Structure 1
Amino acid sequence: MLTDSKMWREHESFCGGEHQSPINIDSSKAGVTNYPKFCFHNYDLVFPERLEKNGHTVELKIEEQGLHAELPFITGGGLTDRYNFVQLHFHWGRQLFGSEHTIDRKEYAGELHIVHYNTKYGNFIDAIPQEDGLAALGILIKLTDRDNLAFRHLEQFENIIDPSPVNSDVLHFSVPLVALLPHDTDSFYRYNGSLTSGDCNEDVIWTVFDTPIAISERQITRQVISSHGQPPRK
């Protein structure tokens, strides 16, 4: 769902701060900084995962019960601390454009957010109030003719659209997080912003990659139907 920060300000008073997300990124006004490369630790590992609908979007979380390996985490890329993976979620539009962020006013088919918390605060809840508490990766999604193989394993959205006390579904085939990253993670836009739902806490260090990942129209139609209950209009 395309979220406009102005709309949030109209409907949610606590979302009226000065550093709200999402934004349009004006590339002509962006400064150039040479950050160290991102390091995606344990992003290549396979963990037990589940999809969960939270009322706003569909989240993918790692099942921590029986977890022997460290959770995925990121360092580098201009971040001064270690940030552990919390969840990732998707934003689709009812039509074929549903990205939250735009670059030079260009909308994309969708957007994937991978959320992490700063480990120096101990846990996700304690990190939320801190100005450097969260780090989110924004990955834009464009349309292509071919299916994205990673998204084939995520085509269980329809299993969790029916409201129920346990509104989640375990993935039959887990997806390593590296499979959802763009092929170029060296070029990105960085700004300090907020969560785009809930209390819109202004504690997020945003990284929006300028290289999108691709998904087929068949796949995005399936996700939109699962999320909104109807196919996108052309």
Structure 2
Amino acid sequence: MRSHWKKQVIVLSSPGRVSSKMQQLILPVLLASFWTICTGSGDWCYQSQFTCDHQCNAPDKWNHAQRDCGGNHQSPINIVTRKTLKDERLTPFEFNNYQQIFRDTIKNNGHSVKVGVPHLSTISGGGLPSTYKAVQFHMHWGNNGGPGSEHTIDGEQYPMELHIVHMKNEYTDLTTALSDPEGVAVLGFFYETSNSANRKYDPITNTLRSIKTTNSNTSLPSISLAQLIPAEQNLTSFYRYNGSLTTPGCNEAVIWTVFENTIPLSVDQLRVFSELQFHDGKPMVGNFRPVQPLNGRQVFRSGGAVILVSSTLLLAAIATALGLSQPN
């Protein structure tokens, strides 16, 4: 079951006799004054890092640091399921060597936790134009298990999101792959809060306390990509669109696949990620980019996803027919 996180709107009210028209005049002045004092500069950062003492380019100013961040095909996005189109070409993926055990370095890079992957694991099928090999994976999260995924589904934000980054087989480095409009394929997975710990994640969560500070790293115990994600037979329901990297330089060279089935983690496991630190020593929380405009792009869904959507519609129709539906 999805956790629903609702945005709250804070209404500024003024005492007694100040009219609503006066409030409308005052509020823009106050906001303008604030942004005059606190304007972003320097390197890019997440909104959670921005303060008057630490002025940096927050997400809405990333295009100041990297021009491509102001492009028309940016990621992440909000996936509105009723507006997706079924694409028969989105067949099940072929995951090759995802069971391969490997050891690599896990690093706090100042923006996330990143793990390098030997170029042995590949993906093909799934409507991809080529075979892609895994390069690295990283996560984005909220604050102590609060909303933190980058993509959202019908406005719902999950506690955390995993990105497994792949590049076309013929490339030897990610920089070259990013010069190809279809050079990179990223698989996105949502995490869901579970009542029990996911022991498959012990190699990662047990090492996070060793890399709290920026640029610290340590050796990761033996692990496989397969143990981090749902079983292959549960990965037939997904969404597809063309987008970008979700951090500067925001290169628009990514084929995105966002899976419906979630990965369970306990609240305690999710909280460990919030114990990491940004470069200034503050807790690394809220390291996600807000959703970006679609700008006319179409989001597609696999055959597996349409079954779930159709089932929902069918249940709603039955409930309506039986007079069980509730008014909004």
Q: Same fold judged by TM-score > 0.5? A: yes
- The DSSP-based 3-state class of the residue aligned with 1:153 is helix
In the other structure, the counterpart of 1:61 is: 116
In the other structure, the counterpart of 1:212 is: 262
Aligned partners of 1:100 and 1:231: how far apart in 2? 15
- The DSSP-based 3-state class of the residue aligned with 2:129 is strand
In the other structure, the counterpart of 1:94 is: 143
Q: Residue 230 and residue 16 in structure 1: after superposition, are their counterparts in 2 closer, same or farther (change >3 A)?
A: closer
1:191 aligned to which of 218, 228, 241: 241
In the other structure, the counterpart of 1:141 is: 191
Q: Does 1:8 align with 2:63?
A: no
Q: What is the identity, as a one-letter code, of the residue corresponding to 2:195?
A: D
Aligned partners of 1:127 and 1:230: how far apart in 2? 33
- The DSSP-based 3-state class of the residue aligned with 1:90 is strand
Q: Residue 128 and residue 191 in structure 1: after superposition, are their counterparts in 2 closer, same or farther (change >3 A)?
A: same
Q: What is the identity, as a one-letter code, of the residue corresponding to 1:170?
A: S
Aligned partners of 1:122 and 1:60: how far apart in 2? 18
TM-score, length-scaled by structure 1: 0.87
In the other structure, the counterpart of 1:75 is: 124
Q: What is the identity, as a one-letter code, of the residue corresponding to 2:229?
A: L
Larger mean Cα displacement after TM superposition, 213-222 or 53-62:
53-62
In the other structure, the counterpart of 1:112 is: 162
Q: What is the identity, as a one-letter code, of the residue corresponding to 1:92?
A: W
In the other structure, the counterpart of 1:170 is: 219
In the other structure, the counterpart of 1:159 is: 210
- The DSSP-based 3-state class of the residue aligned with 1:120 is coil
Aligned partners of 2:46 and 2:265: how far apart in 1? 18
Q: Residue 163 and residue 32 in structure 1: after superposition, are their counterparts in 2 closer, same or farther (change >3 A)?
A: closer
Q: How many residues align?
A: 221
2:82 aligned to which of 2, 19, 28: 28
In the other structure, the counterpart of 2:290 is: none
Q: What is the identity, as a one-letter code, of the residue corresponding to 1:162?
A: T
Residue pair 2:131, 2:169 contacting (<8 A) in 1 also: yes
Identify the structure with the greater helix proportion.
2
In the other structure, the counterpart of 2:102 is: 47
Aligned partners of 1:226 and 1:54: how far apart in 2? 10
Residue pair 2:106, 2:217 contacting (<8 A) in 1 also: yes
Aligned partners of 2:200 and 2:169: how far apart in 1? 28
Aligned partners of 2:174 and 2:236: how far apart in 1? 26
- Segments of structure 2 that go 5 or more residues without pairing to the other structure are 1-44, 48-57, 286-328
What's the CA shift string for 1:38-71, capped at 9, x where partnerless?
A: 0111000101122012221110113x5xxxxx61
What's the CA shift string for 1:79-131, capped at 9, x where partnerless?
A: 12110110000111125110000000001010000000012344322111110
Q: What is the identity, as a one-letter code, of the residue corresponding to 1:174?
A: S
Residue pair 2:110, 2:277 contacting (<8 A) in 1 also: no
Aligned partners of 1:227 and 1:43: how far apart in 2? 30
In the other structure, the counterpart of 1:180 is: 228
TM-score, length-scaled by structure 2: 0.63
Q: Does 1:224 align with 2:274?
A: yes
Aligned partners of 2:115 and 2:196: how far apart in 1? 23
Aligned partners of 2:239 and 2:217: how far apart in 1? 33
Aligned partners of 1:75 and 1:180: how far apart in 2? 19
Residue 226 of structure 1 deviates from its aligned partner by: 2.5
Q: Computing the radius of gyration over CA atoms, which structure comes out larger, 1 or 2? A: 2
In the other structure, the counterpart of 2:71 is: 17
Identify the structure with the greater strand proportion.
1
Residue 230 of structure 1 deviates from its aligned partner by: 4.9
Which of structure 1's runs of 4+ aligned residues deviate more than 4 A?
227-232
- The DSSP-based 3-state class of the residue aligned with 1:211 is coil
In the other structure, the counterpart of 1:67 is: none
Residue 174 of structure 1 deviates from its aligned partner by: 1.8
Q: What is the identity, as a one-letter code, of the residue corresponding to 1:220?
A: L
Aligned partners of 2:222 and 2:161: how far apart in 1? 20
Aligned partners of 1:201 and 1:9: how far apart in 2? 16
